[in-house]
Structure 1
Amino acid sequence: MGRQREFDVDTALDAALCVFWRKGYEGASYTDLTQATGVERPALYSAFGNKEALFRRVLERYYERYLDFFPAALEQPTSREVAAHILRGAVEATTRYPDRKGCLGVQGALAGSDDAEPIRLALIDARAAGEASLRERLEQAKADGDLPQTANCAALAAFVMAMTHGMAVQAKAGFSREILEAVVEQALSTWPSRPQDDASERE
């Protein structure tokens, strides 16, 4: 019978998540990780593999627990509500914790060394998948008459994603939640109106 682990995996993953969120993938050293988790390096290796494998486990946890607003947004009844839910959720997620502002994924996707390239590419792929699912939801909104036929759904999806990423960087740089909420309202003020809204304004 194999020796049982002497630490709780979930607790260790939560601690590692906080380290990566604060410092980014490359900024987090093994010393940071062992101190935060209370687990020595050989045990971390045994449980999770190398640093890249640990980060991938942490990232799955981050998406499930802190970016769950995104799939929930796609269920909103109108395209504007979809965008509002994503943007407001992003503000909440990136400003909620004073000790780890910003977005773990965005920080990890920024420029790094060649060794970190697999992580950067994985984060870029994840962002692209999210943008694709948003574009599909907006295409459905357009087909349902919730967006005008002139709406460019690919550009709208890219716009929302660019806003979330930009706000994550601003949150990390110290922008307050109030300022970012104002940015969200400004962004939503440019959202394409529904055809029926245009018609009612002409009456």
Structure 2
Amino acid sequence: MADRGRPRNFDREKSLAKAMELFWEKGYEGASMAELTATMGIGSPSLYAAFGSKEGLFREAVDLYRATDGAAVWQETLAATSAYGAVEAFLMSSAREFSRIDKPSGCFIILSALHSTQASAAVGADVSAKRARNVEILAEKLAQGVQSGEIDEGVNVEAVARFLITVQQGMSIQARDGARRQKLEEIAHSALVAWQALTRDDSLAQNRDTTVLRTHS
């Protein structure tokens, strides 16, 4: 017998995708159970039977986002053959993806669970951990630039990655406030202007300059 409240043509994956977009638009706390069931086209018993709880539904929605809409940014970033190319892809693809007219604006991972209550603390901690992991992934990509000589050895790649992630998070908020792709790309270009300063070890630069001066004196 079908679960009570579940329509005969219930499609779990399509219903999950609809829930993902509602969470993306309104956040975990903002998306009520009534809105979720209405959006998904199922009753509450069916939601609980299929996903266990609102939290369980949200966690699956996060995983779906990371595998689909959220994947493009990291695929392009990790596919880049240089550290600069990776950063450029990271920021420019973020500008494109955050401003799509067929999806909620901004980034699901950045925006969906910023304000956690006691009841949603576990959800907030999980999403926060995923944001922290993004810093690590970008830092690992930048570390390859150190190995290749593109970035000075003394550069703190984690700090650079954290700066770039912060820029991206700001772009997500700007997109939610209505900024379109061109405006977001302007932010990305401004961050890219700082590339030389971010990837140059000042102490090494000073040593190089001193050596040059001594050589020519």
Instruction: Say yes or no: TM over 0.5.
Output: yes
How big is each residue's C-alpha offset from its partner over 1:138-158, in whole Å with a ceiling of 9 and x where there is no partner?
112101101123322011110
Question: In the alignment, is the contact (CA less than 8 A) between 1:148 and 1:192 conserved in 2?
Answer: no
Q: Say yes or no: does 1:51 pair with 2:37.
A: no
Counterpart pick for 2:125 among 121, 124, 142: 121
Q: Say yes or no: does 1:19 pair with 2:22.
A: yes
How big is each residue's C-alpha offset from its partner over 1:43-82, in whole Å with a ceiling of 9 and x where there is no partner?
0100011000000001001011112121431221111111
Displacement of 1:99 after TM fit?
5.9
Secondary structure of the corresponding residue to residue 42 of structure 2: coil
Over aligned residue pairs, what C-alpha RMSD do you find? 2.2
Letter in 1 for 2:116: G
Alignment partner, residue 179 of structure 1? 183
Alignment partner, residue 147 of structure 1? 151
Alignment partner, residue 168 of structure 2? 164
How far apart in 2 are the matches of 1:188 and 1:124? 26
Letter in 1 for 2:40: T
How big is each residue's C-alpha offset from its partner over 1:166-185, in whole Å with a ceiling of 9 and x where there is no partner?
11011111122211111101
Counterpart pick for 2:98 among 94, 99, 118: 94
Alignment partner, residue 60 of structure 1? 63
How far apart in 2 are the matches of 1:98 and 1:65? 14
Q: Which 5+ residue runs of structure 1 have no aligned equivalent? A: none
How far apart in 2 are the matches of 1:9 and 1:144? 46
Q: Which 5+ residue runs of structure 2 have no aligned equivalent? A: 213-217
How far apart in 2 are the matches of 1:45 and 1:27? 19
Alignment partner, residue 29 of structure 1? 32
Counterpart pick for 1:85 among 83, 86, 89: 89
Identity across aligned pairs (percent)? 29
